[in-house]
Structure 1
Amino acid sequence: MSDVPERWSQANVYPDMWADPDQDPRNNDGASPDGELATLQDYLRDYRLTLQMKCEGLDPEQLARRSVPPSNMSLLGLLRHLAEVERDWRNWIRPGNPAPKLYGARDGDFDGAVAEQAIVDSAFADLAREQAATDTALATHPDLGERVGKDSIAVRALWVHRIEEYARHCGHADLLRECIDGRVGQ
Protein backbone atom coordinates (compact mmCIF):
# COMPACT_ATOMS: atom_id res chain seq x y z
CA MET A 1 0.00 0.00 0.00
CA SER A 2 1.11 3.51 -0.76
CA ASP A 3 0.06 6.80 0.81
CA VAL A 4 0.28 8.39 -2.62
CA PRO A 5 -3.18 8.87 -4.13
CA GLU A 6 -3.89 7.36 -7.52
CA ARG A 7 -4.09 9.94 -10.32
CA TRP A 8 -7.59 10.59 -11.63
CA SER A 9 -9.71 13.06 -13.55
CA GLN A 10 -13.39 13.73 -14.02
CA ALA A 11 -12.82 14.28 -17.73
CA ASN A 12 -13.96 11.58 -20.12
CA VAL A 13 -13.04 13.02 -23.50
CA TYR A 14 -9.47 13.89 -22.48
CA PRO A 15 -8.55 11.87 -19.38
CA ASP A 16 -5.54 14.07 -18.59
CA MET A 17 -7.76 17.14 -18.16
CA TRP A 18 -9.47 18.44 -15.04
CA ALA A 19 -12.82 18.61 -16.81
CA ASP A 20 -14.12 17.98 -20.28
CA PRO A 21 -14.06 21.13 -22.42
CA ASP A 22 -17.86 21.40 -22.49
CA GLN A 23 -17.91 21.33 -18.66
CA ASP A 24 -15.05 23.78 -18.13
CA PRO A 25 -16.32 27.20 -16.97
CA ARG A 26 -13.12 28.81 -18.22
CA ASN A 27 -13.79 27.92 -21.82
CA ASN A 28 -15.63 30.40 -23.96
CA ASP A 29 -16.62 29.42 -27.42
CA GLY A 30 -16.56 32.95 -28.79
CA ALA A 31 -13.75 35.01 -30.13
CA SER A 32 -11.06 36.25 -27.80
CA PRO A 33 -11.72 39.63 -26.18
CA ASP A 34 -10.99 42.81 -28.10
CA GLY A 35 -8.44 45.10 -26.57
CA GLU A 36 -5.67 44.83 -24.03
CA LEU A 37 -7.73 45.54 -20.91
CA ALA A 38 -10.44 43.04 -21.85
CA THR A 39 -7.75 40.42 -22.51
CA LEU A 40 -6.14 41.01 -19.13
CA GLN A 41 -9.53 40.80 -17.40
CA ASP A 42 -10.31 37.55 -19.23
CA TYR A 43 -7.02 35.91 -18.21
CA LEU A 44 -7.46 36.98 -14.59
CA ARG A 45 -11.03 35.63 -14.53
CA ASP A 46 -9.83 32.27 -15.84
CA TYR A 47 -7.04 31.98 -13.25
CA ARG A 48 -9.46 32.87 -10.48
CA LEU A 49 -11.82 30.17 -11.72
CA THR A 50 -8.93 27.70 -11.89
CA LEU A 51 -8.07 28.28 -8.24
CA GLN A 52 -11.71 27.89 -7.27
CA MET A 53 -11.94 24.63 -9.24
CA LYS A 54 -8.83 23.25 -7.50
CA CYS A 55 -10.50 23.80 -4.12
CA GLU A 56 -13.94 22.40 -4.99
CA GLY A 57 -15.13 19.28 -3.24
CA LEU A 58 -12.51 19.31 -0.48
CA ASP A 59 -13.19 19.38 3.24
CA PRO A 60 -11.39 21.72 5.68
CA GLU A 61 -8.72 19.13 6.52
CA GLN A 62 -7.90 18.61 2.85
CA LEU A 63 -7.85 22.33 2.10
CA ALA A 64 -5.51 22.97 5.04
CA ARG A 65 -3.20 20.02 4.32
CA ARG A 66 0.41 20.94 3.76
CA SER A 67 1.08 18.51 0.96
CA VAL A 68 4.68 19.35 0.15
CA PRO A 69 6.74 19.28 3.38
CA PRO A 70 8.44 21.29 4.76
CA SER A 71 6.45 24.04 3.05
CA ASN A 72 3.60 25.68 4.96
CA MET A 73 1.69 26.03 1.67
CA SER A 74 -1.83 24.62 1.38
CA LEU A 75 -4.83 25.32 -0.82
CA LEU A 76 -6.46 27.13 2.09
CA GLY A 77 -3.27 29.11 2.60
CA LEU A 78 -3.29 30.06 -1.09
CA LEU A 79 -6.85 31.38 -0.78
CA ARG A 80 -5.84 33.48 2.22
CA HIS A 81 -2.59 34.60 0.57
CA LEU A 82 -4.38 35.80 -2.56
CA ALA A 83 -6.90 37.72 -0.45
CA GLU A 84 -3.94 39.37 1.28
CA VAL A 85 -2.20 40.29 -1.97
CA GLU A 86 -5.42 41.66 -3.50
CA ARG A 87 -5.53 44.05 -0.54
CA ASP A 88 -1.86 44.84 -0.97
CA TRP A 89 -2.37 45.76 -4.65
CA ARG A 90 -5.04 48.24 -3.59
CA ASN A 91 -2.54 49.69 -1.13
CA TRP A 92 -0.25 50.35 -4.10
CA ILE A 93 -3.04 52.33 -5.80
CA ARG A 94 -4.48 54.37 -3.00
CA PRO A 95 -2.83 57.38 -1.46
CA GLY A 96 -2.43 57.63 2.29
CA ASN A 97 -2.26 54.98 4.93
CA PRO A 98 -2.38 51.38 3.73
CA ALA A 99 -5.14 49.05 4.82
CA PRO A 100 -3.92 46.67 7.54
CA LYS A 101 -2.94 43.10 6.77
CA LEU A 102 -5.82 40.63 6.92
CA TYR A 103 -3.92 37.87 8.68
CA GLY A 104 -1.32 39.69 10.73
CA ALA A 105 2.38 39.03 10.58
CA ARG A 106 4.37 37.67 7.66
CA ASP A 107 3.13 34.20 6.66
CA GLY A 108 0.01 34.62 8.80
CA ASP A 109 -1.99 33.81 5.69
CA PHE A 110 -0.36 30.36 5.42
CA ASP A 111 0.34 29.68 9.10
CA GLY A 112 -3.26 30.46 10.08
CA ALA A 113 -4.73 28.14 7.45
CA VAL A 114 -6.04 25.53 9.85
CA ALA A 115 -8.63 22.82 9.24
CA GLU A 116 -11.69 24.56 10.66
CA GLN A 117 -14.86 25.23 8.68
CA ALA A 118 -15.06 28.81 9.98
CA ILE A 119 -11.52 29.49 8.71
CA VAL A 120 -12.40 27.99 5.32
CA ASP A 121 -15.62 30.01 5.04
CA SER A 122 -13.80 33.17 6.07
CA ALA A 123 -11.02 32.57 3.52
CA PHE A 124 -13.48 32.23 0.64
CA ALA A 125 -15.40 35.32 1.81
CA ASP A 126 -12.19 37.32 2.30
CA LEU A 127 -10.95 36.43 -1.15
CA ALA A 128 -14.24 37.32 -2.87
CA ARG A 129 -14.44 40.63 -0.98
CA GLU A 130 -10.83 41.60 -1.66
CA GLN A 131 -11.06 40.63 -5.34
CA ALA A 132 -14.19 42.75 -5.77
CA ALA A 133 -12.62 45.70 -3.98
CA THR A 134 -9.48 45.56 -6.12
CA ASP A 135 -11.55 45.17 -9.28
CA THR A 136 -13.55 48.25 -8.28
CA ALA A 137 -10.41 50.24 -7.51
CA LEU A 138 -8.80 49.35 -10.83
CA ALA A 139 -12.01 50.09 -12.75
CA THR A 140 -11.46 53.74 -11.88
CA HIS A 141 -8.17 53.55 -13.83
CA PRO A 142 -9.06 52.25 -17.32
CA ASP A 143 -5.94 53.76 -18.92
CA LEU A 144 -3.35 50.99 -18.65
CA GLY A 145 -0.54 53.50 -19.07
CA GLU A 146 -1.69 55.63 -16.14
CA ARG A 147 0.73 55.74 -13.24
CA VAL A 148 -0.80 55.39 -9.78
CA GLY A 149 0.17 55.36 -6.13
CA LYS A 150 3.17 56.66 -4.30
CA ASP A 151 5.49 54.52 -6.44
CA SER A 152 3.89 55.68 -9.69
CA ILE A 153 3.35 52.14 -10.93
CA ALA A 154 1.64 51.66 -14.30
CA VAL A 155 -1.88 50.22 -14.12
CA ARG A 156 -0.81 47.72 -16.80
CA ALA A 157 1.92 46.43 -14.45
CA LEU A 158 -0.66 45.89 -11.71
CA TRP A 159 -2.85 43.84 -14.05
CA VAL A 160 0.08 41.76 -15.28
CA HIS A 161 1.35 41.24 -11.73
CA ARG A 162 -2.09 40.03 -10.63
CA ILE A 163 -2.24 37.53 -13.50
CA GLU A 164 1.30 36.35 -12.77
CA GLU A 165 0.48 35.85 -9.08
CA TYR A 166 -2.64 33.81 -9.80
CA ALA A 167 -0.94 31.79 -12.55
CA ARG A 168 2.00 30.90 -10.32
CA HIS A 169 -0.25 29.86 -7.47
CA CYS A 170 -2.55 27.88 -9.77
CA GLY A 171 0.53 25.81 -10.61
CA HIS A 172 1.05 25.24 -6.90
CA ALA A 173 -2.65 24.39 -6.56
CA ASP A 174 -2.31 21.72 -9.28
CA LEU A 175 0.41 19.95 -7.30
CA LEU A 176 -1.29 20.42 -3.94
CA ARG A 177 -4.57 19.00 -5.22
CA GLU A 178 -2.88 16.03 -6.84
CA CYS A 179 -1.12 15.24 -3.54
CA ILE A 180 -4.44 15.42 -1.67
CA ASP A 181 -6.60 13.15 -3.80
CA GLY A 182 -4.81 12.42 -7.06
CA ARG A 183 -6.92 14.78 -9.16
CA VAL A 184 -4.80 16.01 -12.06
CA GLY A 185 -4.85 19.53 -13.47
CA GLN A 186 -5.11 20.92 -16.95
Structure 2
Amino acid sequence: MSDEPERWTKASVYPDMWVDPDEDPRNSEGASPDGELATLQDFLTGYRMTLRMKCDGLGPQDLARRSVPPSTMSLLGLVRHLAEVERDWRNWIRPQDPAPKLYGARDADFEGAAAEQALVEAAFSDLAREQAETDAALAEYADLGTRVGKEGTAVRELWVHRIEEYARHCGHADLLRECIDGRVGQ
Protein backbone atom coordinates (compact mmCIF):
# COMPACT_ATOMS: atom_id res chain seq x y z
CA MET A 1 0.00 0.00 0.00
CA SER A 2 1.38 3.38 -0.97
CA ASP A 3 0.73 6.77 0.61
CA GLU A 4 1.09 8.35 -2.81
CA PRO A 5 -2.19 9.60 -4.27
CA GLU A 6 -3.37 8.27 -7.59
CA ARG A 7 -3.03 10.77 -10.45
CA TRP A 8 -6.30 12.24 -11.69
CA THR A 9 -7.81 15.15 -13.60
CA LYS A 10 -11.21 16.78 -14.02
CA ALA A 11 -10.62 17.03 -17.76
CA SER A 12 -12.18 14.60 -20.17
CA VAL A 13 -11.06 16.12 -23.48
CA TYR A 14 -7.32 16.13 -22.76
CA PRO A 15 -6.23 13.88 -19.88
CA ASP A 16 -3.20 16.02 -19.02
CA MET A 17 -5.24 19.20 -18.46
CA TRP A 18 -6.53 20.60 -15.16
CA VAL A 19 -10.02 21.11 -16.59
CA ASP A 20 -11.54 20.91 -20.04
CA PRO A 21 -10.90 23.96 -22.24
CA ASP A 22 -14.55 25.06 -22.06
CA GLU A 23 -14.34 25.16 -18.26
CA ASP A 24 -10.94 26.83 -18.00
CA PRO A 25 -11.38 30.41 -16.76
CA ARG A 26 -8.02 31.34 -18.28
CA ASN A 27 -9.26 30.68 -21.81
CA SER A 28 -10.69 33.63 -23.62
CA GLU A 29 -12.33 33.63 -26.99
CA GLY A 30 -10.77 35.44 -29.88
CA ALA A 31 -7.29 36.68 -30.56
CA SER A 32 -4.77 37.52 -27.89
CA PRO A 33 -4.65 41.16 -26.77
CA ASP A 34 -3.01 43.80 -28.92
CA GLY A 35 -0.03 45.66 -27.61
CA GLU A 36 2.86 44.91 -25.33
CA LEU A 37 1.29 46.04 -22.06
CA ALA A 38 -1.96 44.18 -22.72
CA THR A 39 0.03 41.04 -23.52
CA LEU A 40 2.05 41.31 -20.31
CA GLN A 41 -1.10 41.88 -18.27
CA ASP A 42 -2.79 38.90 -19.93
CA PHE A 43 0.09 36.55 -19.12
CA LEU A 44 0.28 37.75 -15.51
CA THR A 45 -3.47 37.35 -15.09
CA GLY A 46 -3.26 33.80 -16.43
CA TYR A 47 -0.53 32.80 -14.00
CA ARG A 48 -2.36 34.39 -11.09
CA MET A 49 -5.45 32.39 -11.99
CA THR A 50 -3.37 29.22 -12.31
CA LEU A 51 -2.04 29.63 -8.78
CA ARG A 52 -5.57 30.07 -7.42
CA MET A 53 -6.76 27.04 -9.39
CA LYS A 54 -4.00 24.89 -7.91
CA CYS A 55 -5.19 25.90 -4.42
CA ASP A 56 -8.94 25.53 -5.06
CA GLY A 57 -10.78 22.91 -3.09
CA LEU A 58 -8.06 22.41 -0.49
CA GLY A 59 -8.38 23.05 3.22
CA PRO A 60 -5.77 24.61 5.50
CA GLN A 61 -4.10 21.27 6.24
CA ASP A 62 -3.42 20.54 2.58
CA LEU A 63 -2.50 24.12 1.69
CA ALA A 64 0.10 24.14 4.47
CA ARG A 65 1.46 20.68 3.59
CA ARG A 66 5.17 20.93 2.90
CA SER A 67 6.85 19.35 -0.07
CA VAL A 68 9.91 17.21 0.64
CA PRO A 69 12.23 17.77 3.60
CA PRO A 70 14.12 19.96 4.20
CA SER A 71 12.05 22.28 1.99
CA THR A 72 9.53 24.57 3.68
CA MET A 73 7.58 25.04 0.44
CA SER A 74 3.81 24.64 0.51
CA LEU A 75 0.93 26.05 -1.51
CA LEU A 76 0.07 28.39 1.36
CA GLY A 77 3.72 29.39 1.60
CA LEU A 78 3.69 30.19 -2.14
CA VAL A 79 0.62 32.40 -1.72
CA ARG A 80 2.30 34.25 1.15
CA HIS A 81 5.59 34.45 -0.74
CA LEU A 82 3.94 35.96 -3.81
CA ALA A 83 2.17 38.55 -1.65
CA GLU A 84 5.58 39.45 -0.25
CA VAL A 85 7.10 39.54 -3.74
CA GLU A 86 4.38 41.88 -5.02
CA ARG A 87 5.25 44.22 -2.14
CA ASP A 88 8.96 43.91 -2.91
CA TRP A 89 8.40 44.88 -6.54
CA ARG A 90 6.40 47.88 -5.41
CA ASN A 91 9.32 48.84 -3.17
CA TRP A 92 11.52 48.77 -6.28
CA ILE A 93 9.16 51.24 -7.93
CA ARG A 94 8.95 53.52 -4.89
CA PRO A 95 12.16 53.01 -2.89
CA GLN A 96 11.75 56.32 -1.07
CA ASP A 97 8.81 54.95 0.94
CA PRO A 98 9.32 51.18 1.26
CA ALA A 99 6.55 49.09 2.78
CA PRO A 100 7.72 46.77 5.57
CA LYS A 101 7.88 43.01 5.14
CA LEU A 102 4.49 41.36 5.49
CA TYR A 103 5.61 38.25 7.32
CA GLY A 104 8.96 39.13 8.85
CA ALA A 105 12.49 38.05 8.16
CA ARG A 106 13.70 36.00 5.22
CA ASP A 107 11.65 32.85 4.58
CA ALA A 108 9.04 33.77 7.21
CA ASP A 109 6.47 33.63 4.41
CA PHE A 110 7.12 29.90 4.09
CA GLU A 111 8.01 29.17 7.72
CA GLY A 112 4.80 30.76 9.01
CA ALA A 113 2.48 28.92 6.63
CA ALA A 114 0.56 26.95 9.24
CA ALA A 115 -2.61 24.91 8.78
CA GLU A 116 -5.01 27.50 10.21
CA GLN A 117 -8.07 28.84 8.39
CA ALA A 118 -7.38 32.40 9.58
CA LEU A 119 -3.87 32.27 8.11
CA VAL A 120 -5.22 30.95 4.81
CA GLU A 121 -7.82 33.71 4.57
CA ALA A 122 -5.25 36.35 5.52
CA ALA A 123 -2.76 35.07 2.94
CA PHE A 124 -5.25 35.23 0.06
CA SER A 125 -6.41 38.65 1.24
CA ASP A 126 -2.81 39.86 1.45
CA LEU A 127 -2.10 38.54 -2.03
CA ALA A 128 -5.13 40.25 -3.59
CA ARG A 129 -4.31 43.55 -1.88
CA GLU A 130 -0.63 43.49 -2.81
CA GLN A 131 -1.40 42.54 -6.41
CA ALA A 132 -3.85 45.43 -6.73
CA GLU A 133 -1.44 47.92 -5.17
CA THR A 134 1.48 46.88 -7.37
CA ASP A 135 -0.76 46.89 -10.46
CA ALA A 136 -1.84 50.44 -9.55
CA ALA A 137 1.77 51.56 -9.02
CA LEU A 138 2.80 50.21 -12.42
CA ALA A 139 -0.28 51.67 -14.11
CA GLU A 140 1.20 55.10 -13.46
CA TYR A 141 3.73 54.40 -16.23
CA ALA A 142 2.22 54.15 -19.70
CA ASP A 143 5.70 54.01 -21.27
CA LEU A 144 7.16 50.59 -20.48
CA GLY A 145 10.62 51.97 -21.11
CA THR A 146 10.33 54.41 -18.19
CA ARG A 147 13.07 53.78 -15.66
CA VAL A 148 12.00 53.75 -12.03
CA GLY A 149 13.49 53.27 -8.60
CA LYS A 150 17.00 53.74 -7.35
CA GLU A 151 18.31 51.14 -9.81
CA GLY A 152 16.59 52.76 -12.79
CA THR A 153 14.83 49.54 -13.75
CA ALA A 154 12.58 49.71 -16.81
CA VAL A 155 8.88 49.23 -16.06
CA ARG A 156 8.86 46.54 -18.78
CA GLU A 157 11.47 44.58 -16.83
CA LEU A 158 9.33 44.73 -13.67
CA TRP A 159 6.35 43.31 -15.59
CA VAL A 160 8.46 40.52 -17.05
CA HIS A 161 10.01 39.66 -13.68
CA ARG A 162 6.57 39.43 -12.11
CA ILE A 163 5.44 37.04 -14.86
CA GLU A 164 8.60 34.97 -14.41
CA GLU A 165 8.06 34.78 -10.65
CA TYR A 166 4.48 33.53 -11.02
CA ALA A 167 5.38 31.12 -13.83
CA ARG A 168 8.16 29.53 -11.80
CA HIS A 169 5.99 29.20 -8.72
CA CYS A 170 3.05 27.83 -10.71
CA GLY A 171 5.40 25.00 -11.68
CA HIS A 172 6.05 24.40 -8.00
CA ALA A 173 2.30 24.54 -7.36
CA ASP A 174 1.73 21.83 -10.00
CA LEU A 175 4.03 19.46 -8.15
CA LEU A 176 2.75 20.38 -4.70
CA ARG A 177 -0.86 19.79 -5.72
CA GLU A 178 -0.05 16.47 -7.35
CA CYS A 179 1.65 15.33 -4.13
CA ILE A 180 -1.39 16.35 -2.07
CA ASP A 181 -4.19 14.64 -3.97
CA GLY A 182 -2.80 13.41 -7.29
CA ARG A 183 -4.52 16.06 -9.39
CA VAL A 184 -2.53 16.86 -12.51
CA GLY A 185 -2.83 19.31 -15.32
CA GLN A 186 -1.64 22.40 -17.05
Cα deviation, residue 72, structure 1: 0.2
Identity %: 80
Partner of 2:89: 89
Q: Secondary structure at the match of 1:161?
A: helix
* Alignment map for 1:98-109 (pairs within 5 Å): 98-109=98-109
Q: Gaps (5+ residues) in structure 1?
A: none
CA RMSD of superposed structures (Å):
0.7
Partner of 1:184: 184
Partner of 1:78: 78
Q: Is the 8 A contact 1:95 1:149 kept in 2?
A: yes
**Normalised TM-score (structure 1):** 0.99
Q: Secondary structure at the match of 2:92?
A: helix
Partner of 1:170: 170
Q: After TM superposition, which residue ranges in structure 1, 4 or more long, deviate above 2 angstroms?
A: none
Equivalent pairs, count: 186
Q: Secondary structure at the match of 1:183?
A: coil
Cα deviation, residue 36, structure 1: 0.5
**Normalised TM-score (structure 2):** 0.99
Q: Is the 8 A contact 1:75 1:176 kept in 2?
A: yes
* Alignment map for 1:99-138 (pairs within 5 Å): 99-138=99-138
Q: Tell me the amino acid that sits aligned with residue 185 of structure 2.
A: G
Q: Is the 8 A contact 1:68 1:176 kept in 2?
A: no
Partner of 2:15: 15
CA deviations over 1:133-155 (Å, ceiling 9, x no partner): 00000000121100001110000
Partner of 1:142: 142
2-side partners of 1:176 and 1:94: how far apart? 34
